[in-house]
Chain A
Amino acid sequence: MRQRVRFTKSGKVRFLSHRDVARVWERALRRSGVRAAYSEGFSPRPRLSFGLALSTGYESLGEYLDIDLADEVDPGELPGIVTPSLPHGMVAQSAVPIPSGTDSLQQAVTSSSWRLEVADVEPERIAATVERVLALVAVPIIIERKGVESDLDARPAILELVAEETVIEAELATQPRSLRPAELLRALDPTWTLGRVLRTHQWMSVDGARCEPIPFGDLGARGATSAPHAQARAS
């Protein structure tokens, strides 16, 4: 059986890399006695698949992974079973079963919401810049992916952009072309320095409606769906 799990990554563990997080999950499952299904072959690994990588140093209130479980586990109980085996700062918040054939997280997620701290810039200047960029029809920047530079119009990937004091709240597309928080900041003003970065939500689209893979708590409540409902829609 497959389950999709939502978890947080905050505090000191934000400096773990994406690979580190995968390793932490493998060991946490073994420690908590939750058996994952293993891959075949010479070097069997537990079958876990993670969503969009979160850059080392960024925090998140909504990370996801899909686990192929070897045993039946009540999804309502899974977070409580696994969380004590996760390091401080990582909390499994919720889990839902997902039927086979469900889109992978990488395929399903179309955008993420972010809170970006901007260091050492006056709030007025931030607000003015945000307003100016929102008014543009195109924001050409150069981005780097796997060591290769390419041109990107950042504007279509900026789905939402709000300045509150020295914090910028932004929803950035991950499809068809993705824009990263550091790239957004560079598009706004290349002289600004990025402070702390927090991913607050990941979004997918179901029948044209925006929703989270698993809504959770106050932040997720805006999606106005309970977990079982989300499960139905996710399928």
Chain B
Amino acid sequence: MRGNRGGSGTLAHTMVDVWARLEPHLASVQKPARYIGCELGAEVPSPGPQRVGWLLVYPDTYEIGLPNQGLQILYEILNERPDALAERSYAPWTDLEEVLRREDIPLFSVDTHRSADEFDVIAFNLSAELVYTNVLNCIDLAGVPVRSADRTADDPLIGAGGHATYNPEPLADFLDFVVLGDGEEVVSEINVQVATWKAAGRTARIDVLRALASIEGVYVPSLYEPRYLPDGRLEVTAPVDLAAPAVVEKRTIADLADWPYPKQQLVPLTEVVHDRLNVEVFRGCTRGCRFCQAGMITRPVRERPAEQVASMVQQGLRRTGYDEVALTSLSTADFSGIEDVVASAMDDSVGCGNVSVSLPSLRVDAFTVGVAAQIQKARRTGLTFAPEAGTWRMRQVINKLITEEDLYSAVDSAFSQGWRRVKLYFLTGLPTETDEDTLGIIELARRCIELAKTKGHNGSVTVSVGGFVPKAFTPFQWFGMNTEVELRRKVNMLRDAAKLAKGVQIKWHDPRASLVEGLVSRGDRRLGPVIEHVWRAGGTFQEWSEHFRLDLWEQAMAEAGLDLDWYCHRHRAEDEVLPWDHLSAGLHKDFLWQDWRDALEELGLEDCRWTPCYDCGACTGYGIEHVVASAVPPAGGSQGTGQDLHRGGEVSVTLLSRKPVGVGA
């Protein structure tokens, strides 16, 4: 099969081949509609020698992967090019994998059911670290050697993009190239280089790798080598080829208005997560929450013009037949003139009736609840906020500057306007966290219940707790995360406290999964064999609790002679070379270090989109700036900007009069 790619004569044969061989087995696997494609918006492109074929893979199930907007944007941009074509694939569930391996059927695209190894580029979206073993599995199912060093010019190029690529080192052995930052522009530049190489007759693989390394935002791991100090710390990761720059900078599109994608959002025929029209209203966030990698690496804020949002919503609803639209971003209530945009989204000029609008990330204040009330006229079930920490002190450390007043007025407003259930997200295991901070979570939830009672009904509060995992390019990248034992102790403490607080339910994330996420998030190239070991031992779908196997990871670490504790729980010093130091998210390392020091001193930092620049580097380094329609913070805007933070921890007297839960008062 390999070596025939691009020849249109062989295409018809192979197309029929994979589908015909797959089809008889689909009746015997779970949810076969995952594998048929046929969505509205799906492309059935014809390959040819002049076109670079891309297989865009989301390395998790179809239900999780299909809605991914990043993948859909690239799918459209590539298919609009005359010299490219793009199709999609998703990780086959374990039952289908068994069939594929038994029947010797390769990984395939869902669009035309072509074999994965007929594509020139197989590119993965890496949204999270626990999918890494699935990446190896997909490469293997494609019939491609898993290690990049073993591939020849006939093999597809294996690439990756997405938020997790800001520390790609654990996957360095397996990826030919990695993209940092926004993909809209760079994907075309990559395509041109691969097309040129293809036209030249697919010469040595190093030729195309060098060409890719010359593109800004593209990192070719094989052109770099790490050196380690005798104590095991990294000395440097340095280029070993003249084509490789010393530091690879991320890519940032200057103006979202130039990229109104997806224009043809895929509408699946079967059930998926986030099954609705999604319109991205802005990219980037400068709230400056110190635990949040997404906020740090996607700076600056780039708003989409309100009229473009409105037309994308109206056209999208008409084209897709969806009755729900989500206005997406990292904090949609911060969008300039959010009320007008929401009103226009709800203005039913489509004529189909019953359109609902959702804001996936609510800011914590009464203003936001007012907007939510406007859009949830009919179904008023639950409202979700993310205070992230239980005490004002802790929230200053993480720079989530929600005052007690904002929080309780948001909850009060929610209960007054008919909501019965409130869900609150928190992190535990944060830097400097004391038991008082941890228990503050339950205290806060308990006060919310008190507020419900003043409205004359029994409200319920669900507290969802995740173990904090430090990520690359955040001020917390130097922090040694809590051990699994410590996280478990905190979760148990919260459970005990929640039992005494009537109306408070608690949910928590498995601390063992946080441990592995922590290992891979800040790991270096020595983790390559570890990931390969876990994959070979059958450890796929590690983000699915029923498949997660901590024992495999521990076994693999022991075999590689590596120490989990050293990677996860050790605080890094200022002078330590980090595995991602040869990559750049635009942020100055000394800015991040200063922000880390500020965190330890409980110093909050206001949002820079409405206040003077802190020179983090994300704008100045690339000659770009915020694109924000409003020069002032939103009406009633919380989270620190323009507020007197000295009163941030004050709780109204009515709420204080009750007996608190757990330690302190």
Do the beta carbons of A85 and B351 come within 8 Å of each other? no
- The 0/1 profile, CB within 8 Å of A marked 1, for residues 190-223 of chain B is 0000000000000000000000000000000000
Indicate whether A20 sits within 8 Å of B271 (C-beta atoms), given known contacts A12-B38, A35-B353. Answer: yes
Answer yes or no: B655 CB below 8 A from chain A CBs: no
- The 0/1 profile, CB within 8 Å of A marked 1, for residues 253-276 of chain B is 000000000000001011100000
Question: Which residues on the B side are within 8 Å of A31 (C-beta)?
Answer: 40, 318-321
Interface window among A37-45, A149-157, A171-179, A218-226: A37-45
Answer yes or no: B659 CB below 8 A from chain A CBs: no
Do the beta carbons of B320 and A16 come within 8 Å of each other? no
Do the beta carbons of A13 and B27 come within 8 Å of each other? no
Cα–Cα distance between A88 and B379 once the two chains are bound (Å):
34
Indicate whether A13 sits within 8 Å of B269 (C-beta atoms), given known contacts A56-B32, A57-B27. Answer: yes
Do the beta carbons of A33 and B351 come within 8 Å of each other? yes
Answer yes or no: A28 CB below 8 A from chain B CBs: yes
Cα–Cα distance between A50 and B500 once the two chains are bound (Å):
49
Question: Which residues on the A side are within 8 Å of B579 (C-beta)?
Answer: none
Indicate whether A20 sits within 8 Å of B269 (C-beta atoms), given known contacts A12-B36, A88-B38. Answer: yes
Answer yes or no: A61 CB below 8 A from chain B CBs: no
Question: Which residues on the A side are within 8 Å of B36 (C-beta)?
Answer: 12-13, 15-16
Answer yes or no: A233 CB below 8 A from chain B CBs: no
Do the beta carbons of B321 and A29 come within 8 Å of each other? yes
Indicate whether A42 sits within 8 Å of B378 (C-beta atoms), given known contacts A20-B33, A20-B271, A24-B269. Answer: yes
- The 0/1 profile, CB within 8 Å of B marked 1, for residues 4-37 of chain A is 0000000011011101100110111111010100
Do the beta carbons of B38 and A13 come within 8 Å of each other? yes
Cα–Cα distance between A44 and B353 once the two chains are bound (Å):
10
Question: Which residues on the B side are within 8 Å of A35 (C-beta)?
Answer: 351-353
B63 smallest CB distance to A (angstroms): 12
Do the beta carbons of B271 and A19 come within 8 Å of each other? yes
Do the beta carbons of B379 and A57 come within 8 Å of each other? no
| Residue from B32, B39, B40 within 8 A of A57 (CB atoms) | B32
**Chain B 21-41 interface residues, beta-carbon cutoff 8 Å to A:** 24, 26-27, 31-33, 35-40
Answer yes or no: B354 CB below 8 A from chain A CBs: yes
Cα–Cα distance between A89 and B38 once the two chains are bound (Å):
9
Do the beta carbons of B379 and A43 come within 8 Å of each other? yes
Question: Which residues on the A side are within 8 Å of B35 (C-beta)?
Answer: 15
Answer yes or no: A228 CB below 8 A from chain B CBs: no
Answer yes or no: B322 CB below 8 A from chain A CBs: yes
Answer yes or no: B598 CB below 8 A from chain A CBs: no
B320 smallest CB distance to A (angstroms): 7
Question: Which residues on the A side are within 8 Å of B33 (C-beta)?
Answer: 15-17, 20, 56
B37 smallest CB distance to A (angstroms): 7
Question: Which residues on the B side are within 8 Å of A23 (C-beta)?
Answer: 269, 271
- The 0/1 profile, CB within 8 Å of B marked 1, for residues 195-218 of chain A is 100000000000000000000000
Nearest chain-B residue to A71 (Cβ)? B351
Do the beta carbons of A27 and B378 come within 8 Å of each other? no
Do the beta carbons of A87 and B269 come within 8 Å of each other? yes
Nearest chain-B residue to A26 (Cβ)? B321
Nearest chain-A residue to B40 (Cβ)? A87
Question: Which residues on the B side are within 8 Å of A15 (C-beta)?
Answer: 26-27, 32-33, 35-36
Question: Which residues on the A side are within 8 Å of B38 (C-beta)?
Answer: 12-13, 87-89
Question: Which residues on the A side are within 8 Å of B378 (C-beta)?
Answer: 42-44
Size class of the B contact interface (CB-based, 8 Å):
20 to 34
A31 smallest CB distance to B (angstroms): 4
Cα–Cα distance between A29 and B354 once the two chains are bound (Å):
14
Question: Which residues on the B side are within 8 Å of A57 (C-beta)?
Answer: 26-27, 32
Question: Which residues on the A side are within 8 Å of B40 (C-beta)?
Answer: 27, 31, 87
Question: Which residues on the A side are within 8 Å of B320 (C-beta)?
Answer: 27, 31
Nearest chain-B residue to A193 (Cβ)? B24
Nearest chain-B residue to A85 (Cβ)? B321
Do the beta carbons of B270 and A30 come within 8 Å of each other? no
B221 smallest CB distance to A (angstroms): 38
Which among A12, A13, A87 has the highest number of chain B CB atoms within 10 Å? A12
Cα–Cα distance between A89 and B39 once the two chains are bound (Å):
12
| Residue from A16, A38, A43, A56 within 8 A of B269 (CB atoms) | A16
B18 smallest CB distance to A (angstroms): 13
Question: Which residues on the B side are within 8 Å of A24 (C-beta)?
Answer: 269
Do the beta carbons of A12 and B37 come within 8 Å of each other? yes
A67 smallest CB distance to B (angstroms): 14
Cα–Cα distance between A15 and B40 once the two chains are bound (Å):
16
B13 smallest CB distance to A (angstroms): 19
Question: Which residues on the A side are within 8 Å of B270 (C-beta)?
Answer: 16-17, 20
Answer yes or no: B154 CB below 8 A from chain A CBs: no
B528 smallest CB distance to A (angstroms): 37
Question: Which residues on the A side are within 8 Å of B318 (C-beta)?
Answer: 31
Answer yes or no: B554 CB below 8 A from chain A CBs: no
Do the beta carbons of A30 and B32 come within 8 Å of each other? no
Nearest chain-B residue to A30 (Cβ)? B321
- The 0/1 profile, CB within 8 Å of A marked 1, for residues 326-355 of chain B is 000000000000000000000000011110
B361 smallest CB distance to A (angstroms): 23
Question: Which residues on the A side are within 8 Å of B353 (C-beta)?
Answer: 35, 38
Do the beta carbons of B351 and A27 come within 8 Å of each other? no
Do the beta carbons of A27 and B32 come within 8 Å of each other? no
Do the beta carbons of A28 and B321 come within 8 Å of each other? yes
A88 smallest CB distance to B (angstroms): 6
B112 smallest CB distance to A (angstroms): 11
Answer yes or no: B323 CB below 8 A from chain A CBs: yes
Question: Which residues on the B side are within 8 Å of A20 (C-beta)?
Answer: 33, 269-271
Nearest chain-A residue to B36 (Cβ)? A12
Cα–Cα distance between A43 and B376 once the two chains are bound (Å):
11
Question: Which residues on the A side are within 8 Å of B24 (C-beta)?
Answer: 195
Question: Which residues on the A side are within 8 Å of B37 (C-beta)?
Answer: 12
Cα–Cα distance between A127 and B37 once the two chains are bound (Å):
38
B265 smallest CB distance to A (angstroms): 12
A91 smallest CB distance to B (angstroms): 14
Question: Which residues on the B side are within 8 Å of A87 (C-beta)?
Answer: 38-40, 269
A95 smallest CB distance to B (angstroms): 19
Nearest chain-B residue to A35 (Cβ)? B352
A110 smallest CB distance to B (angstroms): 27
Cα–Cα distance between A122 and B580 once the two chains are bound (Å):
65
A55 smallest CB distance to B (angstroms): 9
Nearest chain-B residue to A25 (Cβ)? B321
Cα–Cα distance between A135 and B40 once the two chains are bound (Å):
50
Do the beta carbons of A44 and B321 come within 8 Å of each other? no
Cα–Cα distance between A23 and B39 once the two chains are bound (Å):
13
Question: Which residues on the A side are within 8 Å of B319 (C-beta)?
Answer: 31
- The 0/1 profile, CB within 8 Å of B marked 1, for residues 99-130 of chain A is 00000000000000000000000000000000
Cα–Cα distance between A195 and B25 once the two chains are bound (Å):
10
- The 0/1 profile, CB within 8 Å of A marked 1, for residues 622-647 of chain B is 00000000000000000000000000
Cα–Cα distance between A31 and B38 once the two chains are bound (Å):
16
Nearest chain-A residue to B355 (Cβ)? A30
Cα–Cα distance between A56 and B32 once the two chains are bound (Å):
8
Other A-B contacts than A16-B33, A17-B31, A20-B269, 11 sampled, CB-CB below 8 A, are: A15-B32, A16-B36, A23-B269, A27-B267, A27-B320, A27-B321, A27-B322, A29-B321, A35-B353, A87-B39, A195-B24
**Complex A-B: 21 CB contacts under 8 Å:** A12-B36, A13-B38, A15-B36, A16-B36, A17-B31, A17-B33, A20-B271, A26-B321, A27-B40, A27-B321, A28-B321, A31-B320, A31-B321, A35-B351, A35-B353, A38-B353, A44-B354, A56-B32, A57-B32, A85-B321, A195-B24
Which are the 8 A-B pairs with shortest beta-carbon distances? Answer: A27-B321, A30-B321, A31-B321, A15-B32, A57-B27, A12-B36, A30-B352, A20-B270
Q: Residues on B close to A: CB < 8 A?
A: 24, 26-27, 31-33, 35-40, 267, 269-271, 318-323, 351-354, 378-379
